[in-house]
Structure 1
Amino acid sequence: MSQATDEPGETVEPAEAFSVVASEARLNILEALWRAEDRPVRFSELHDAVELDDSAQFNYHLQQLTGQFVKKVDGGYDLRRAGAQVIRALRAGTFTQRPRVEPLEVEGACTGCGGSLEARYADEQFAIDCTDCGKAHGQYGFPPGGLVDRTDEEIVTAFDERVRHLHCLAADGVCPECGGRMHTELEREGDCCLDVSLRAEHVCERCRYELCSPVGLVLLDRSVVVAFYEDHGIDISDRPYWTLPWCVDDEHYTVQDVDPWRVEIEVPLAEERLRVVLDGDLTVHEAERISCED
């Protein structure tokens, strides 16, 4: 089995890579390739799409991109993954937008006091908080591009889906940003915006991307929990994570041991409760369904 490393091969220094795309003409070339319905794109068609009058100047910029961001193939030019990533980052709005969003009403009630919840957007993050007691129900990243061409309801739904996706990837050891290896630790110390005393902290060993969550959040895609809800006629993916107390509260957690970690989470539903025990890697160690009459 082959293994990739950071050793050269062909590498480009970060400063050089950014300098290559620091040109409006080159960004226009990348976007024209990205927008093309059929690729590869012939030189003449790409030139027409970019609307750069000087053919020699256009060719110069195209050649500067070729290799790291664009590839020359039979029939013309195509985007490399790096080129597509540049355009995706721009369209996500991370580098170009600082939108203002009015607070959004969201489904569900505060798991602490029963008050109303709202989503507030700042610094490319949504925070779900109670309007009465201020209890936090999660604060996670959401790119500005996700706000475009969506109703308020669609934005909130997209945020919920993104949170599930990010945390399930992280808990499975895959960085949502770079694909690198994520390291997970359970933490009790230090301040945290999640308003919980026990949290999972995920850190990418490669790009240092960080994500933290209540430990119950990892159960959203675990088959034992999905099946538990299905047996009660409920698709758990239809329930926003912040409406599930075991995803946001400490009350449903019991630390059985710390060496090694064993954390018990109770998931109540109708006349039953599901008892799940996680280890320090957030792997399901035990699972048991119990009648509430027991």
Structure 2
Amino acid sequence: MDVRDSGQFNYHLGELVGHFVGKTEEGYRLRQAGERVVEAVLSGTVTETPVMEPTPVDEDCHYCGAPVEVRYRQEQVDVFCPECSGAYDAGHAPAEAEIPPGYGWLGGMPLPPAGLDGRDADEVLRAAFSLGQTEFVTASTGICPRCSARTERTVEACDDHGADGGVCSDCGRRRSVVFGSACTNCNYEAAGGVLMALFAETEFLAFMTNHGLNPMNPDSVTAYLNAISNYETVVRSHSPLEVEIRLTVDGDTFTRTIDEAFLNAGTAES
């Protein structure tokens, strides 16, 4: 340590001992809390603010087929389509997304600043996609991927959905039914198509992998999104909620019903 005043050093070390640093017979070591702080610093979360302006990548919009662009700032990778309305209107995008004029927002994924190191725009997108998928798998089970507290899982269905190939004027979404998972302790929340509620289910994962689709590290983000976007939802009942999901891949169909029992149970509580 580049500290010449041993008294000052010992004072600050003493302040850290207990919660962040442990004292052993061999000396001192970081405890779990201390390691988390060091990880946050090294990831750039508390020290860096890099920006990457909208940049074309070698992936296509899974709605219209146009080449998409990615932008990085505030520890998030946002994906935009320059030719269609995207997945949500501006009202459903977070304020920090700041959708460029004429672009559609396809979604955003968290990525610490260190995720940009040594990666081009395509690699940044893949890193953010894999990290985001991993987080949402955890959140879909009712466990917060940030603080480990319980999440509240919800499904919302638009009563009068009229997307007509774009974004619905009533709900502001392209999909008529969406799944969300919000932490009951911290500020983590995520949402997407209702199919995301199944991301941790064994039968669903087996169906995907049997068709060569790896949710965590797909060969092609576009091919994966094209495959999982090819699903239908049938709202059997609004109160109580009951939604049937039908996903077809290579001629095979996976069917699952999402209802209140599914949301109240969850992998986390079982």
**TM > 0.5:** yes
Equivalent residue for 2:246, pick from 266, 269, 279: 266
Question: 2:100 — aligned with what?
Answer: none
- For residue 118 of structure 1, what is the aligned residue in structure 2? 69
- Verify the 8 A CA contact 2:179 2:197 in the aligned structure 1: no
RMSD (CA atoms): 3.0
Counterpart for residue 159 of structure 1: 128
- Code of the aligned partner of 2:37: V
Residue in structure 1 matched with residue 96 of structure 2 by the alignment: none
Identity of aligned residues (%): 31
> What residue is the counterpart of 2:185 in the other structure?
206
Q: Which residue of 2 aligns with 1:77?
A: 28
- Partner of residue 92, structure 1: 43
Q: How much has 1:195 moved relative to structure 2?
A: 4.4
Unaligned runs of 5+ in 2: 87-104, 159-168
Contact 1:246 1:265 in 2 (8 A): no
Distance 2:227 2:259 in 1: 17
Residues 282, 161 of structure 1: alpha-carbon distance in 2 compared, 3 angstrom cutoff: farther
| Equivalent in the alignment of 1:244 | 225
Q: Quote the Cα distance in structure 1 between the aligned partners of 2:197 and 2:55.
A: 25
CA distance in 2, matches of 1:83, 1:241: 39
Alignment of 1:154-233 (within 5 A): 154-188=123-157, 195-233=174-212
Partners of 2:81 and 2:185 lie apart in 1 by 36
- Residue 126 to residue 215, structure 1, CA distance change in 2 (3 Å): same
Instruction: Sort the Cα spacing of 1:53 and 1:178 in 2 relative to 1 into closer, same or farther, 3 A.
Output: same
Checking the alignment, whether the CA contact within 8 Å between 2:116 and 2:124 is kept in structure 1 is: yes
Rounded to whole Å, the distance in 1 between the matches of 2:175 and 2:60 is 17
The question of whether the paired residues in 2 share the 8 Å contact of 1:241 and 1:247 is answered with no
For residues 198 and 227 of structure 2, the distance between their equivalents in structure 1, rounded to whole angstroms, comes to: 9
What displacement does 1:101 show?
Answer: 0.8
Are residues 184 and 246 of structure 1, via their aligned partners in 2, closer, same or farther at CA, if it must alter by over 3 Å? farther
Change (3 A) 1:108 1:193: farther
Q: 1:74: how far off?
A: 1.5
Aligned residues: 235
Kindly tell me: are residues 104 and 182 of structure 1, through their superposed partners in 2, closer, same or farther at Cα, counting changes over 3 Å? same
For residues 179-211 of structure 1, what are the alpha-carbon distances to aligned partners after superposition, in whole Å with 9 as ceiling and x for unaligned?
Answer: 111111112479988643432222211223222
Measure the CA separation in 1 of the matches of 2:110 and 2:209.
29
The alpha-carbon distance between structure 1 residues 192 and 149, as it changes in their structure 2 partners (threshold 3 A), is farther
Q: Is the 8 A contact 2:139 2:181 kept in 1?
A: yes
Whether the aligned pair in 2 keeps the contact of 1:182 and 1:204 (CA below 8 Å) is yes
Q: CA contact under 8 A between 1:109 and 1:116: conserved in structure 2?
A: yes
Q: 1:50-103 deviations in whole A, cap 9, x for unaligned?
A: 121122221111111111211111110011111111111222222222211133
CA 233–166 in structure 1, closer or farther in 2 if over 3 Å, else same: closer
Shift of 1:279: 2.7
Is the contact between residue 137 and residue 248 of structure 1 (CA under 8 Å) also seen in structure 2?
no
Which of 115, 139, 150 aligns to 1:146? It is 115
Equivalent residues in 2 for 1:270-289 (5 A)? 270-280=250-260, 281=262
Secondary structure of the residue that 2:237 maps to in structure 1? strand
Q: Which string of whole-angstrom CA distances, capped at 9 and with x for unpartnered residues, describes residues 97-137 of structure 1? A: 22111334345432332212222223322222222114133
CA 1:234/1:94 → structure 2, altered by over 3 Å: closer, same or farther?
closer
Residue 167 of structure 1: CA displacement? 0.8
Distance change in 2, residues 1:125/1:242 (3 Å): farther
